[in-house]
């Protein structure tokens, strides 16, 4: 998909963000931001520090409630829904800093990513009743698939705290994928990574989109990464949309060159 136009007969968007405005005690975090994410699209949001990227994620995941605008996920208005409810609808998120249970193994962290799929309470889990057992086995199979998919087999029994940073970030991606998300939000997935780790992560992000068909919204400072991976890019500056289009369109936009690339050709 290119530009902002919808093709005739195109599937409805997974996510819509319409004229959203958010401010904190007079500080404008987002101002008049609109975009849509198509099924299996890799959509990126970029901008300098303080541009409003994290605020967009926090609105999407229900952490912040904007004063203005409309946000729908899978056709449902999600403004005002609590974060856990939006997560249950299928919105999974990774964070700028690794947010895992560091003393638990890779396997256990991924199993925890599945917990909202379990339709049983603690008592039946304790008694290992049929339904609980079936769900547990299905979850285990799904988690093992993700371990293979992300090349984590060598680490599966290791506590996360002992893993290299790049692998920890991959486990975080795995935990989000274990939720079988309908939309994946990646907050600076390569922050702090070396070149090799960055290339690995980029490959896994593309594979998640291409092989699992998960639409992705990605926020990052790494212009090269965003331009390589994204189908479309939204550029923010001081909370306002500066450009929206394919990487090629955005990179040649004079306002983007001025605002984000600091006037570089």
Ligand X SMILES: Nc1ncnc2c1ncn2[C@@H]1O[C@H](COP(=O)(O)OP(=O)(O)OP(=O)(O)O)[C@@H](O)[C@H]1O
Contacting positions for ligand X (CB under 6 A): 24, 27, 29, 47, 49-55
User: Shortest distance, CB of residue 160 to ligand X, whole angstroms?
Assistant: 24
Residues 6+ apart with CB under 8 A from 204: 149, 150, 170, 173
- Decide: 225 and 203 in contact? Cβ < 8 Å: no
- Decide: 186 and 125 in contact? Cβ < 8 Å: no
User: Shortest distance, CB of residue 63 to ligand X, whole angstroms?
Assistant: 9
Q: Choose between 50 and 69: whose C-beta lies nearer to ligand X.
A: 50
User: Shortest distance, CB of residue 51 to ligand X, whole angstroms?
Assistant: 4
Q: Choose between 28 and 135: whose C-beta lies nearer to ligand X.
A: 28
Q: Choose between 24 and 128: whose C-beta lies nearer to ligand X.
A: 24
User: Shortest distance, CB of residue 44 to ligand X, whole angstroms?
Assistant: 13
Q: Choose between 49 and 123: whose C-beta lies nearer to ligand X.
A: 49
Token pair listed for 216: 């992705």
User: Shortest distance, CB of residue 201 to ligand X, whole angstroms?
Assistant: 18
Q: Choose between 33 and 143: whose C-beta lies nearer to ligand X.
A: 33
C-alpha angle 71-256-36 in degrees, rounded to nearest 5: 20
- Decide: 233 and 256 in contact? Cβ < 8 Å: no
User: Which has the closest alpha carbon to 86: 55, 65, 112?
Assistant: 65
């Amino acid at each position: 998909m290119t530009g902002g136009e919808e093709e005739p007969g195109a599937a409805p968007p997974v996510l819509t963000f319409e004229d959203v405005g958010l401010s904190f005690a007079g500080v404008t975090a987002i101002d008049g931001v609109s975009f849509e994410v198509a099924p299996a699209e890799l959509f990126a949001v970029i901008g300098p520090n303080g541009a409003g990227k994290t605020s967009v994620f926090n609105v999407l995941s229900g952490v912040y409630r904007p004063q203005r605008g409309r946000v729908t996920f899978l056709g449902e208005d999600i403004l005002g829904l609590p974060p856990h409810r939006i997560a249950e609808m299928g919105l999974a998120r990774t964070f700028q800093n690794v947010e895992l249970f560091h003393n638990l193994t890779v396997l256990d962290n991924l199993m925890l990513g599945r917990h909202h799929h379990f339709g049983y309470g603690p008592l039946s889990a304790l008694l290992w009743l049929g339904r609980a057992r079936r769900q547990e086995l299905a979850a285990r199979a799904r988690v093992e698939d993700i371990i293979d998919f992300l090349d984590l087999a060598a680490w599966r029994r290791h506590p996360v705290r002992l893993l290299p940073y790049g692998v920890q970030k991959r486990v975080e991606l795995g935990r989000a994928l274990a939720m079988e998300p309908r939309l994946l939000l990646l907050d600076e997935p390569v922050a702090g990574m070396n070149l090799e780790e960055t290339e690995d992560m980029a490959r896994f992000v593309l594979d998640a989109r291409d092989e699992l068909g998960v639409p992705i919204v990605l926020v990052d400072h790494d212009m090269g990464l965003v331009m390589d991976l994204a189908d479309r890019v939204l550029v923010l500056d001081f909370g306002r949309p500066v450009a929206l289009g394919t990487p090629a369109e955005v990179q040649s936009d004079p306002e983007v060159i001025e605002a984000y690339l600091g006037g570089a050709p």
